[in-house]
């Protein structure tokens, strides 16, 4: 009987390369991003006359990775360990892998060397490689491509020329646990949703660098048949993900507004619905996202191509509600571009919140339409008409900026 490997054996992805990563079915949070379908940590074994392991896995998944490598060859036959990225979801198992495999060399980008040293304080020497430096595996050549800030300053891609495979670590990935290893084996709508969510929650602030990285890879004229990222499925049709990334990184917007709000006794909720009505009357699609019931990473998902962000908060103790603070902090870090917006909220006596929301939106370069809108205690018809009117104004500004998109 065939011996069982923890989670299944290695999966061959090209003539010389095996997937030897791990599937994390249970992951539901990644730095505040809700990963509702889990994730994978993809490591790749490149088997030429010499063998290189490109990236490892999160520390608790060491056993799963080792079992997969051993389904191909004994651990001591791995000659090189290559770290494309020092973040611990890819390097957590590196120290133990070094102890067990005793590789000839451990390789990282020049900045990766110090990042690994600062993480693991290893005695092991780590060999730095420069942009476009190569490593021969005898019959195979690996090329290292500097990819600063994708996702950290030390990130790099590894390209395997003979198999035409790009191993770009975090870039072109998604958080998706699956039994399938290839994107073309998964439903298109799942891929689109999870790739978008990953881009919106992790890569959005790096959009200008992604555009540059795409130009750099294009300029190198590397034939690429397979893009094998370190999270989620492997792309046998590279254009499927490259086209998406180019559009998302360019920041293209559609005629859609996102309204987020929190509410104490339902008054700010009434204002949100009146704003939504005005936006709809103005010919704009609206997504209303009450903060009590909505995860922040779903709001980031919607903002990827929405043209407007309207934020509402009543006033509590002279300031905004905590959940509104959470989303404003989260969105500010994602550096969304090309947004118009508005601030609103009900109040009882002091009423500072809408102004504070407006200041936060302005700080993230959202173009505000109208003054912050307030309603005392419970808005009656006139106050709601003001909300609808502001919604129509925002809709007009969206149409001026986005056109018919």
Binding interface with ligand FEO (CB under 6 A): 85, 87, 89-90, 151-152, 170, 230-231
Are 99 and 64 in contact by the 8 Å Cβ rule? The answer is no
Structure tokens at 266: 């339902």
The nearest distance, CB 333 to ligand FEO, in angstroms, is 15
**Residues acting as catalytic residues:** 31, 85, 87, 89, 151, 170, 198, 231
Give CA–CA dist 299/203, Å, rounded.
15
Cβ nearer to ligand FEO, comparing 38 with 290: 38
> Which candidate, 34, 22, 50, places its Cα nearest to that of 201?
34
Written as one string, the DSSP assignment of 362-386 is: HHTT-EE-SSPEEEESS--HHHHHH
CA 361 from chain center: how many Å? 22
Choose between 159 and 172: whose C-beta lies nearer to ligand FEO. Answer: 172
Shortest Å distance, C-beta 231 to ligand FEO: 6
Shortest distance in whole angstroms from residue 91 CB to ligand FEO: 9
C-alpha distances (whole Å) from 106 to each of 74, 81, 125, 307 are 18, 5, 7, 46
| SS3 label, residue 180 | coil
Q: What is residue 310's three-state secondary structure?
A: strand
Residue 79 or residue 89: which is nearer to ligand FEO going by CB?
89
Minimum distance of ligand FEO from residue 88's CB (angstroms): 8
Whichever of 150 and 402 has its CB closer to ligand FEO, that residue is: 150
Output the smallest distance, CB 250 to ligand FEO, in A. Answer: 22
Number of H helices, E strands in the chain: 12, 22
Q: Among residues 152 and 182, whose Cβ is nearest to ligand FEO?
A: 152
CA dihedral 172, 177, 178, 181 (to 10 degrees): 40
């Amino acid at each position: 009987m065939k011996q069982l490997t923890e989670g299944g054996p290695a999966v061959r992805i090209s003539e010389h390369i095996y997937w030897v990563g791990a599937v994390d079915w249970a992951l539901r949070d990644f730095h505040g991003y809700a990963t509702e379908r889990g994730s994978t940590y993809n490591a790749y074994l490149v088997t030429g006359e010499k063998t290189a392991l490109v990236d490892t896995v999160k520390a608790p998944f060491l056993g799963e990775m080792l079992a997969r490598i051993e389904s191909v060859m004994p651990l001591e036959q791995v000659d090189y360990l290559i770290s494309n990225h020092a973040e611990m979801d890819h390097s957590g198992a590196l120290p133990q892998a070094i102890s067990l495999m005793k590789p000839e060399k451990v390789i990282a980008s020049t900045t990766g060397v110090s990042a690994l040293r600062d993480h693991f304080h290893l005695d092991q020497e780590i060999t730095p490689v420069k942009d476009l430096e190569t490593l021969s595996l005898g019959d195979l050549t690996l090329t290292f491509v500097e990819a600063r800030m994708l996702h950290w300053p030390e990130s790099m891609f590894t390209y395997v020329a003979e198999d035409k495979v790009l191993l770009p670590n975090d870039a072109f990935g998604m958080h998706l646990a699956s039994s399938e290893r290839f994107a073309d084996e998964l439903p298109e709508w799942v891929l689109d949703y999870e790739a978008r969510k990953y881009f919106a929650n992790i890569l959005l602030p790096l959009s200008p660098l992604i555009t540059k990285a795409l130009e750099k890879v294009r300029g190198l004229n590397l034939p690429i048949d397979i893009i094998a990222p370190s999270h989620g499925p492997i792309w046998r049709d590279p254009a499927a993900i490259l086209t998406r990334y180019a559009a998302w990184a360019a920041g293209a917007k559609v005629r859609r507004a996102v309204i987020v709000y929190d509410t104490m006794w339902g008054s700010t909720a009434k204002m949100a619905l009146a704003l939504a009505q005005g936006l709809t009357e103005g010919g704009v699609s609206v997504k209303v996202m009450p903060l009590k019931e909505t995860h922040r990473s779903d709001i980031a998902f919607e903002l990827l191509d929405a043209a407007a962000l309207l934020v509402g908060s009543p006033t509590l103790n002279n300031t905004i509600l905590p959940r509104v603070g959470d989303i404003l902090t989260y969105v500010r870090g994602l550096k969304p571009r090309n947004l118009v917006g508005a601030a609103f909220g009900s109040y009882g006596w002091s009423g500072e919140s809408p102004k504070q929301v407006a200041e936060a939106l302005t700080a993230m370069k959202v173009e505000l339409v109208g003054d912050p809108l307030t309603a005392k205690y419970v808005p009656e018809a006139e106050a709601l008409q003001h909300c609808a009117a502001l919604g129509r104004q925002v809709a007009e500004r969206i149409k001026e900026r986005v056109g018919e998109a």
